[in-house]
Chain A
């Protein structure tokens, strides 16, 4: 199929991009890496878009340390996330997750901001930043604001971003000494969306578990977290099964996904034990 696009403009800076979106009559779409949007347009799942291309706004790229936290520009590519030394040191969860995302060509173009704003519940990064308790920085016609990851994901492809707002960066706390972060997922083929996946971290304050591909949005499994904190893995698996909302599709049933999530939690717990030693 051929895409049906209403218009395309390359933004000069973030303010320009915000003005362009404001003038697009609700049809504005931010084009960053294009790895989900262009595919959707080429299937005519999205037509009549006014594309605002932010992909050359270099000020939105890169990883920095800021006030003891890690700041990741929205245009930072998956491949960079996977190999960036600051991320490998301070947010190894993101680096590991990047290796699970699709294939090299897609990782070279896809951006973390795009992945978060797209909010595919099967994607790794939304669950990662939920697990890492990140903050999302957005800019819109009324200025800038911050949104906690826990408030950002509303549903299937739905987020707290308002019309005309652009996600510019995320920031997150650095891993504390001795913190362990792991991703466990299983996909039918390497690079496919996971049948189920878990991000698990253990820090002094306790475990955090965010599940993906098992509901309409990434799910923070608080019941499973509490059980793990109490040292009861079996209860954590049981709680996790209650907390997730998997759907059935052509790859696997909800029942399978629920079972798989439990297997993955046991594996994550085992890995964390191993890596902590």
Chain B
């Protein structure tokens, strides 16, 4: 069963090597199949009339003019859709106290954020539907708006949902030890106020759905750009009152997701409901403005935090007060409390200390709902932790590396439980830090920095250690009552020509899941990766699974694939043993051929074995098992989550006249456990870093005090672009998880987790001689200048 990963020259050694991505030629040749490429007979398009107000009562809808537009077929109000579609409530039982009101696919009598759907126009083309939507007249009574996070709970702030009593959606305190006593007796206590801006994911392919209800066989087929087809199957079945078995969700090519496409969106459910009512296929493709105003937002946090250290720089305590505002509803079914919950679980994560208190307050407001986006909560927790650690080091006159060395969990400390009650199986903070310092030539860089400072050039070095939560068990969602699967499955079969087909419950969004699966299966069975055809994203075809999120594709989906592949190998060898009259244990499969395990001598190509099994089964012994197909499912059981770790460094130059920050170079050493495909891991780390750098310097969704979205285009919401990105050096330490035979922990979010903190620390390192400090992301030129005191008004 086990693979000797210690020997890179072992037969079929594809795990650990860069192999080509099987879907890359198709995608770069423009032969991908995205939802918008699908055209069905009798298909209609839907466009949504969306609320222009952050909070308003809907008092009337007049669709007469819209109905007259050529091509417009039908117009739906919220009440009409609600007749076939029940509302949902985004709460989970284990997030105690979390509350949220019922949310309708289309607002019925009240709109609670700019962009919330209030009517739907169905037409023969998207253009006609938009033409109609522009002519639907909605009468609104404008209601008071809750826009500010920090005053959402004040007595004179209106309560957004009267039935809920107040604007507090969720609050949790995670406490260990005696924080107040530790703070009181500390050598130094450093306090800081951090903010992280509201972001969204900006997927290249917008949210897309095509739903078709076939009344003849009472089945719904949905083509959906999603990360979690089985979760969507449940959601649509539940709220449209269709048996789960009669809903099929197909997820073809997906143009990026980053967590944006793992939620239930009102307009997407409405599209399915309209298809159900009309008995015709209905397509909805979000445009870019709809993406900015209705894709989930994330990261909008304000934090007051303290760290206490002794004279030797040992961390004694951390105290974190985190606030976040999640919009008008908790998003279904994962909830909008999870991000704040992660913050209170992850602060202080890399460090061995005793006294910890972190509180998150999650409040409602009249803005686009927030929910899980790549590296949920991590960039916030890492910024708080690493920001405070650097500030403490500065107070003590200690080098930022030295204070980390004194506090990081020792590499032999595991297993260990952190003060935030996270259980770590095995991490490599010190080894990773050593490698990082080596890669960046830390001492040389410090010397260069000092030399340039003499010449009035302000450069800074920032370091950020981090942990990243991956491979969630049912402790994340399942115990809360959500039908979100933590297990995943893979079916691997051999066809007559000796080729292998693998069907997996994890999904591909462009990150290379299918490449990863192909090489795991190739090594597991003993064929070349090109001989493995991977199929994902179809609830009627693949084993039941959770899909791809929380960096679980390789760790969970990969392990299921490996186990299924090894089982198929055993089945093939059993048949081969009977055919060759040899002991199966003495045979192996290498490069698509059954061979003698000891000598490597070729005994029979798989193609020949396939010919006999499928066409001349009469020649095989009766009773010989000949199922050349195996399915295995995998779930973690010893730890609620796997944890990866790593450390990043940023080197920046601050223009103290303009406040502009130039990213000079970035380093990351991470430990994602077993590396299956080095190039894919490096790409994931780099892509993640870029998203983190976007948060540090560029990305910010702006609202005015009336809850109006101010920047809904790519011209105004600044995503990181190639010209501003630094060279990145990626290094690896491998500490495989012992929970699985594969040992992979996941690599999709580590880059995003640590990058903003590294940049913040680098900027503050550059500014420190001038007594300035920034903690308000993104670090725009203006915020840097204001920190320097250059601007007076």
Contacts and interface: CB of A to CB of B under 8 A. Distances in A.
B658 A186 contact: yes
Interface in B695-733: 698, 700, 702, 710-711, 713, 715-716, 718, 720-721, 723-724
B710, B780, B781, most chain A CB atoms within 10 A: B781
B130 interface: yes
Given A188-B780, A253-B791, A256-B791, 6 more contacts: A1-B289, A2-B130, A4-B127, A189-B721, A189-B724, A250-B711
A43 B127 contact: no
Contact of A256 (B125, B698, B781): B781
The 6 closest A-B CB pairs, nearest first, are A190-B723, A2-B127, A256-B782, A250-B702, A263-B657, A255-B793
Interface string B635-673: 000000000000000000000011110000000000000
A260 interface: yes
A253 B785 CA distance: 12
Contacts of B130: 1-2, 4, 44
A197 to B, nearest CB: 12
B134 interface: yes
Contacts of A1: 130, 287, 289
Contact of A259 (B126, B710, B791): B791
Nearest to B701: A250
Interface string A243-259: 00000001111011001
B700 A188 contact: no
Contacts of B715: 192-193
Contacts of B540: none
A4 B130 CA distance: 9
A189 B718 contact: yes
B790 interface: yes
A113 B289 CA distance: 29
A263 B131 contact: no
B607 to A, nearest CB: 48
A203 to B, nearest CB: 27
A226 to B, nearest CB: 24
A85 B715 CA distance: 32
Interface residues of B, number: 33
A195 interface: yes
Nearest to B717: A250
B289 A43 contact: yes
Interface in B768-792: 780-782, 785, 790-792
A5 to B, nearest CB: 10
Interface in A231-277: 250-253, 255-256, 259-260, 263
B82 to A, nearest CB: 27
Contact of B723 (A43, A191, A251): A191
A263 B134 CA distance: 46
A186 B700 CA distance: 19
Contacts of B710: 250
A250 B127 CA distance: 31
Contacts of B780: 188, 251-252
A190 B793 contact: no
Interface in A1-24: 1-2, 4
Nearest to A256: B782
A125 B793 CA distance: 31
Interface of A: 1-2, 4, 43-44, 186, 188-193, 195, 250-253, 255-256, 259-260, 263
Contact of B131 (A4, A188, A252, A255): A4
Contact of B718 (A2, A192, A263): A192
A250 B700 contact: yes
The binding surface of chain A is classed by DSSP as loop
A262 B688 CA distance: 37
A251 B130 CA distance: 30
A255 B791 CA distance: 7
Contacts of A251: 716, 718, 780
A188 B781 CA distance: 8
A195 B710 CA distance: 17
A192 B793 CA distance: 25
The binding surface of chain B is classed by DSSP as loop
B782 A253 contact: yes
A186 B130 CA distance: 38
B658 A263 contact: yes
Nearest to A253: B782
Given A188-B718, A259-B791, A2 B126 contact: yes
A255 B783 CA distance: 12
Contacts of B724: 189-190
A247 to B, nearest CB: 13
Nearest to B134: A44
A51 B134 CA distance: 22
Contacts of A259: 785, 790-791
A186 B782 contact: no
B713 A186 contact: no
B510 to A, nearest CB: 22
B204 to A, nearest CB: 16
B700 A189 contact: no
A115 to B, nearest CB: 16
Given A2-B126, A252-B781, A256-B782, A186 B660 contact: yes
A4 B657 CA distance: 46
Contacts of B134: 44
Nearest to B127: A2
Contacts of A44: 130, 134
B707 to A, nearest CB: 15
A190 B698 CA distance: 12
A190 B131 CA distance: 36
Contacts of A192: 715, 718
B782 A252 contact: yes
Contacts of A189: 698, 718, 720-721, 723-724
Given A2-B127, A250-B700, A190 B658 contact: no
A226 B715 CA distance: 36
A206 to B, nearest CB: 26
Interface string B280-315: 000000010100000000000000000000000000
A256 B721 contact: no
28 contacts: A2-B125, A2-B126, A4-B127, A4-B130, A4-B131, A43-B289, A43-B713, A44-B134, A188-B780, A189-B718, A189-B720, A190-B721, A190-B723, A191-B721, A191-B723, A192-B715, A250-B700, A251-B716, A252-B781, A253-B782, A255-B791, A256-B659, A256-B791, A259-B785, A259-B791, A260-B658, A263-B657, A263-B658
Contacts of B657: 263
A250 B713 CA distance: 12
A35 B792 CA distance: 38
B126, B698, B702, B793, most chain A CB atoms within 10 A: B793
Contacts of B720: 189
Contacts of B700: 250
A209 to B, nearest CB: 18
A249 to B, nearest CB: 8
Contacts of B711: 250
Contacts of B782: 252-253, 256
Contacts of A2: 125-127, 130
B214 to A, nearest CB: 29
A173 B121 CA distance: 57
A83 to B, nearest CB: 20
Nearest to A4: B131
B74 to A, nearest CB: 19
A246 to B, nearest CB: 12
A250 B717 CA distance: 9
Interface string B84-128: 000000000000000000000000000000000000000001110
A166 B441 CA distance: 60
Nearest to B792: A255
Nearest to A47: B134
A43 B287 CA distance: 10
Contacts of A191: 721, 723
Interface string B423-463: 00000000000000000000000000000000000000000
Contacts of A193: 715
